[in-house]
Structure 1
């Protein structure tokens, strides 16, 4: 089903009026049926990093999961591919913070916190961090990335800036000297589980 969705009685007429894919005839939903373009210039990040929150956190998807796992959370193959949330960090940042892969950290923004194991990788640039957006309270504790993001949106499109916010990172073992207070270890390391699930060439 797609918009516009005609009544069954007029389906034949609609088939000649509308394309299967919107806008392929160059007709748009404007008074003169012509497209509108907006020439915009970037204003930069709504929340740039600073001395207290020195990292830029970006959020996004993983290959296997759908949104907040509403369609994929109980599929065994995908759970093996992406077993748990994590925080990607550049090796130089990890060295400076003295953390290693699988070590738990607390990520803090001005709005909230999340607790995640680190995945040290060259896939993320220095000064930036990445958290997948698929884990909410249904699938993990204290791992919801949108507890960290801010509500600022584009004034024209209304699209929220969920891809960048300023955060700080604190290793959990420095918050809790008693190691028993740390989250339970994963059944296998994040790095090994991700590598074992990666498609073979």
Structure 2
């Protein structure tokens, strides 16, 4: 897989390049959001792993770069990898790209394997959110999940992996129409009514991620 790393901290940047390269990936690196956008426009990778606070202001350059990347190349996955959890940054990104994106906190990545899995999932079009970030986005009302059947929970787990209804149907050996009914039912049970500007699939996954221990 071709990966672009964007981080102004040379130690973290080179560490990620070394880690990902040792797993057989083709990795390049830049030190700013603008450079990341330019690199993607010139030669799109499959996924960008990007810090949020980068030059020149060290505030939210990574978020704006991620939005620009998804606008220019929607097929490119973008994983924000930051020390900071901010709901407004997650909302900004999800408003324009509800799939093929992620937001992980550096301090919570104690094991390499989940991080590598997250990179793969984002590259494949999935949604990955740190539980702390997800909790900032939604009201943690976990009692709603008690109403879901075992099959509906399976469907929701696969939705959280970024799978389409067709892919879920193949995985669970169900008819596509059956999966659609399960999705509609779990939307209802999670009180996710249709509303302009809302992505019910994303909101359901956010609920699911925030409810995890």
TM-score by length of 1: 0.20
Q: Which protein has greater RCO, CA pairs closer than 8 Å, 6+ apart?
A: 1
| Structure holding more helix per residue | 2
Task: Compute the TM-score of the two structures, normalised by the length of structure 2.
Answer: 0.19
Larger Cα Rg: Structure 1 or Structure 2? 1
